[in-house]
Chains A and B, each alone.
Chain A
Amino acid sequence: MSRLIKQGRIIEDNWQAPDADASVTGSHQILDLEQWLALEDKAGRAVMLEPGQAPAPLFDHLGDIPLVAVNFPVFTDGRGFSYGRELRERGFSGELRACGHFIRDQMTYLHRCGFDAFQMAEESGLEEAVASLADFSEHYQAAIDQPLPLFRRRH
């Protein structure tokens, strides 16, 4: 089983990565967007977004989805940051997982955009990566982790 960082701790993953050929019936199978869209009953089913797959189709089902994974095939493509934040802003409260080739130096931003789970392509650096979540203790902007901008909190 692969490992990942969730809510600041390293845990074992119990979800299966998406696979276009996999049977879509397994309860812990993450689906790709196409598979997920085709489902009649979406309750309890997890989905992964790729860059270019904006989260709008998910908005009507946010209460049914336990996990949204956002894939980062290359770490310089920042579309997923907006996807995460939009999902949270619209009330998604399940697991929001960053997957793929993001780097630990991005984790503090990802976390601010609402991601609470980090599945890195390279698992060896997970322990060190956890530390990156604490790079900053203060922020100017409102975001998911801190819904008030600094100017509403300064004293």
Chain B
Amino acid sequence: MYVYDEYDQTIVDQRVAQFRDQTDRFLAGKLTEGEFLPLRLQNGLYMQRLAPMLRIAVPYGLLNSTQLRKLAEITRVFDKGYAHISTRQNVQLNWPRLEEVPDILAQLATVQMHAIQTSGNCIRNTTTDQYAGVATDELEDPRPYCEIIRQWSTLHPEFAFLPRKFKIAVCGSRQDRAAIHAHDIGVELVANASGVVGCKILAGGGLGRTPVIGSVICDWLEKKHLLTYLEAILRVYNQNGRRDNKYKARIKILVKAMGVDAFREAVEQEWDQLRDGPTTLTDEEIERARSFFTEPAYRELDADSVKERLDAASASDPIFGNWVRRNTVDHRVAGYRIVNLSLKATGYAPGDITDEQLELVADLADEYSFGEIRSTHQQNLVLADVQADDLYALWQRLQKAGLATPNHGYLTDMICCPGGDYCSLANAKSIPVAEAIQCRFNDLDYLYDLGPIELNISGCMNACGHHHIGHIGILGVDKKGEEFYQVCLGGSQSKDASIGKILGPSFSQQDMPDVIDKILATYLDLRTEEELFLDTYRRVGIEPFKERVYVKAD
């Protein structure tokens, strides 16, 4: 994991001091509300419905146990004893006090954390695969490039007042777990014809009001050019992106308006100026970044005997066996498994975690997973390097803490934004809808029979809950002051990315479990043996679902 040196620490400390001064000036009436707004947003601070919300950056979802303990302490001292994992792998506090935010930031800085650019019209936290470095299908670890991008984008002087927010994701594996098609820029590590790994660059993807799948701007770029190329894209966007209408300000609208070819040409033209300049990455810098993400001290294990023992343990305790099957994933190294900790227990807001759970996970990470933890855009946590022989002990402790719900990847492992309970932009609440669906579909056998399904809920058009790319998406809408929910089907965030289609007129909150029930029943009726939800949907289209859901009751 990346470790700050004195330069990184200086920059973060100076940002804390700068923000403290900005907060003081605001509280003293020397900065207007309007002036303070972008300044606090660039430090992750929102003014929400009930209290401010502070979004803390977790660069590409990587945390160590010390940081987790600090977060636990912060939620206890400054907040109500719990935190929320966001869909950008960040951590959110729902109840901090404005006057105390500089102190929270100072605390974070002591463990190499910050809230820089977690909001605002600037380059946001770069996200990636939660299984980076341990996935079996990985071409190259994307995290060194995320860190390189993090440093380049942090307090970038030219791109702090963009037309709109700007999100970058990097993926280095065959399966895309970073949703690179749904980002302003997606970077994919790919090999060219001669086997050299470089970067494929996508631009203009995004969710929100007008969901768009990103377009390929460059098929293959030498790694050393990554930053100058990104800079060229940002420069074209900063100068030409629309600023007259916030809903048309994202880069996806610019790419559409110009056309991909003209956009690419404009980028190449800017790039001519920047190419081979000082921002060109050196081999040493790439090596330095990579040196932080080397293998931990794995033990050499005999895969067969480990498997035998795990199978035996699974057989003697089927509940454990089921959890292993559902919530753990193959690891690149023999004898190890990747463990998903579900933050989707029924009755708790998806993605919420208490201070005690945070501390427990920190302890477990130290004991079982080299002290590292990952946060995921599905709002869960991951212990990435667990020896299969330790799984039983780990599971017992997770279970006691409510962190072993065996629903990873299934319907109730839904993505859900904070919605109307917290967020001042919301049209409707999202947490109660999630909860009602979790309560209705809490029969595990039924869930497993349905197979993996991604259900995503957003409380408004801003789509923080990624509803467009859920297999089933739910969007809160406002109908004459009342909260309604629109459903879309067929979205996907994988490499075959697609945007969900709207099913039809929206529903009231209480109808939602029934609506989901009918959608699932339609799938179960129509599926062939091997089909997952998305396959069936793609084969039969939206009509059968529509008919079933909107059939008039007689």
The answer to whether residues A138 and B161 also contact, given A82-B235, A151-B281 and a CB cut-off of 8 A, is no
| Residues on the A chain within 8 Å of B11, using CB | 136, 138-140
**Which of these, B22, B157, B162, contacts A108 with CB under 8 Å?**
B157
Interface segment out of the listed A8-16, A23-31, A34-42, A73-81 = A73-81
Pairwise interchain contact B238-A82, C-beta atoms closer than 8 A: yes
Q: A78-B238, A79-B238, A82-B235 are in contact. Are A109 and B157 (CB under 8 A)?
A: yes
Q: Is A103 an interface residue (CB 8 A)?
A: yes
Shortest C-beta distance, B43 to chain A (Å), equals 11
Q: Is the C-beta of A112 less than 8 angstroms from some C-beta in chain B?
A: yes
Looking at the assembled complex, report how far the CB atom of B315 sits from the nearest CB atom of chain A, in whole angstroms. 53
Is there contact, CB below 8 Å, between B152 and A109?
Answer: no
Q: Tell whether, in the assembled complex, residue A113 and residue B151 are in contact, meaning their CB atoms are under 8 Å apart.
A: no
Residues on A with beta carbons closer than 8 Å to the beta carbon of B154: 140
Cα distance A142–B158 in the bound complex, in angstroms: 11
Determine if A22 is an interface residue (Cβ-Cβ < 8 Å): no
Interface centre among B18, B151, B158, B243 (most CB of A within 10 A): B158
Residues of B within 8 A of A135 (CB): 14, 17-18
| A154 x B7 contact (CB < 8 A) | yes
Q: Determine the chain A residues whose CB is within 8 A of the CB of B162 once the complex forms.
A: 78
Whether, in the assembled complex, A63 has its beta carbon less than 8 Å from a beta carbon of chain B, the answer is: no
Main secondary structure of the interface of A (DSSP, over half): loop
B38: interface (CB < 8 Å):
yes
Which A53-77 residues sit within 8 Å CB-CB of chain B?
54, 75-77
A-side interface residues, number (CB < 8 Å): 38
Asked if A43 is at the interface of the complex by the 8 Å CB criterion, the answer is no
- A2 contacts partner chain B, Cβ-Cβ < 8 Å: no
- Is A123 an interface residue when CB atoms closer than 8 A count as contact? no
Q: In the complex, A79 Cα to B243 Cα: how many Å? A: 10
User: In angstroms, how far is the closest chain B Cβ from the Cβ of A130?
Assistant: 14
A51 to B10, CA, bound (A): 34
Chain B residues whose CB sits within 8 angstroms of the CB of A83 once the complex forms: 239
Whether B158 pairs with A113 at a CB distance below 8 angstroms is yes
Residues on the B chain within 8 Å of A154, using CB: 5, 7, 288
Q: Is the Cβ of B161 less than 8 Å from the Cβ of A141?
A: no
Chain A residue at smallest Cβ distance from B122: A78
Would B18 and A141 count as touching, CB distance under 8 A? no
B157 touches A105 (CB 8 A): no
* A143: interface (CB < 8 Å): yes
> Are B38 and A152 in contact, CB atoms less than 8 angstroms apart?
no
- A142: which of B15, B161, B277, B284 is its contact (CB, 8 Å)? B277
Cα–Cα distance between A137 and B9 once the two chains are bound (Å): 12
Q: A85 at interface (Cβ–Cβ under 8 A)?
A: yes
**Is A89 on the interface with B (CB-CB < 8 A)?**
yes
Q: Report 11 cross-chain contacts, Cβ distance below 8 Å, ordered by A residue.
A: A78-B158, A81-B161, A113-B158, A135-B18, A139-B11, A140-B151, A142-B278, A143-B158, A147-B278, A150-B151, A152-B285
Known: A81-B158, A89-B273, A149-B152. 5 other contacts (CB 8 A): A77-B243, A79-B238, A112-B158, A136-B18, A154-B7
